[in-house]
Amino acid sequence: MAEFKKRIVIVGGGFGGLSAAQALKNSPYEITIIDKTNHHLFQPLLYQVATAALSPADIAMPIRAIFTANKNIQVKMDEVWSIDIENKFVEISNSKISFDYLILALGTRHSYFGKPEWEKIAPGLKTLNDALVIREKILLSLEEAEKLNDKTGIDKYLTFVIVGGGPTGVELAGAIAEIAKQTMMKDFRNINAEKTKVILIEGSSRILSSYPESLSKKAKIDLEKFGVKVILNQIVQEIGSDYVRIADKIIKTKNIIWAAGNEAPSLLKSLHTKMDKAGRVLVNQDCSIHNHENIFVIGDAASFLDKKGNLLPGVAPVAIQQGKYVAKIILEEKKSGMRVPFTYMDKGNLATIGKAKAIAEIRGLKFSGLFAWLTWSFVHILFLIGYRNRVRVMAEWIWNYITKQHGIRLIVGKAKNN
């Protein structure tokens, strides 16, 4: 009689899901990875696709290609519609998949704070499609400004507003300022670079609020040197097709990018367990959910409190470490009470502001400038999936640095200006 193999279902092919799958790939289990796309995406560099510095293929890799040699792993490009935790199966478009262990690495989605209609006007940045939409909005606006040739109405095409001063918002603001004020201006004949405006709006008292205050201040100074106007302590009140309103001020713009909020996917409600205000699942110290030691939620979708009661941040290193941890638990087949609690090893924070400008905190050491930028570059190259991607990204960066040109500037109809 053939030996029964336990089944592991991993929902999500991001950092957490991929980390768990890689740790389990040589195990005796049958593993199914389910994701809405067919690729693993390196999200930290997604903003560079949005700003024409990299192409989509540079930062993504088909999940099937990653596990070609692992016959115990199958990949399904599909969406999980519901989870039956008692009968141990997930439901996809045309079938049910049973599991002995379930790992949910779903990430988060954009949150517009009760204003979902804003999404069509102010796209966020989570997927390759989001990046292409933003890229083409930027490029189309520059083309419209070129046609208007300094006539009335040109300002709204040369004004770029980013809502949210976290890492994504800061990196986008710096990159857009670089291309809109410097890199691409030599290609246009009728646009005055001095008329371009990049505005970063943050609701709290400082940008990069999860970073040390000294580094937040340095990042703000660097952004302002790049020509970015940073507005603090202001909440967006209204967004229209060609404007943003904050308090009693209206900013006319055709380019609004949302980087202000996240919320967990509604699928997690299928677990019928406790959640926090953002919809993240309150997990145990072993990343399992209450009363179900075989179901784990990791990464951004999990609300995990460390020993000091602090919520772990929604960053890639947390998801990667949790993925490896959960895989180890499954391999050891230890019961919930016998498991060593998960401990996050915080190796630091990095954020880039622009060319040769970045901030870093690594194990208590704070630094900025060129060395921080080189450190940021090295770390991101190191964590990219695939040797080919690493080489291509490095080559693009070297080319961009030397020539001051962003080469991925094609408009192919993915986006339309409102």
Non-local CB neighbours of 58 within 8 Å, separated by 6+ positions: 45, 49, 389, 392, 393, 396
- Quote the longest CA-to-CA distance of the chain: 80
What share of residues in the chain are helix, strand, coil (percent, to 5)? Answer: 35, 25, 40
Are residues 212 and 361 in contact, defined by beta-carbon separation less than 8 angstroms?
A: yes
Are residues 388 and 111 in contact, defined by beta-carbon separation less than 8 angstroms?
A: no
The runs of H, that is alpha helices, within 204-345 are 213-225, 316-332
Listed residue (154, 170, 171) closest to 202, CA to CA: 170
Angstrom distance (rounded) from CA 215 to CA 359? 6
Catalytic member of 91, 136, 171, 332: 171
Are residues 193 and 369 in contact, defined by beta-carbon separation less than 8 angstroms?
A: no
Q: Is 136 a catalytic residue?
A: no
Q: For 82-234, list the strands marked E by DSSP.
A: 82-84, 89-91, 96-98, 101-104, 109-110, 159-163, 197-201, 228-231
Q: Is the dihedral of CA 72, 78, 83, 84 positive or negative?
A: negative
Q: DSSP assignment, residue 57?
A: G
Supply angle C-alpha 292, 262, 342, rounded to 5.
40
Tokens at residue 280, please?
Answer: 């993240």
Instruction: Point out which residues pair with 8 in neighbouring strands.
Output: 31, 101
Non-local CB neighbours of 360 within 8 Å, separated by 6+ positions: 215, 348, 349, 350, 351, 366, 367, 368, 372, 375, 376
Are residues 17 and 103 in contact, defined by beta-carbon separation less than 8 angstroms?
A: yes
Angstrom distance (rounded) from CA 275 to CA 285? 15
Annotated catalytic residues are: 171
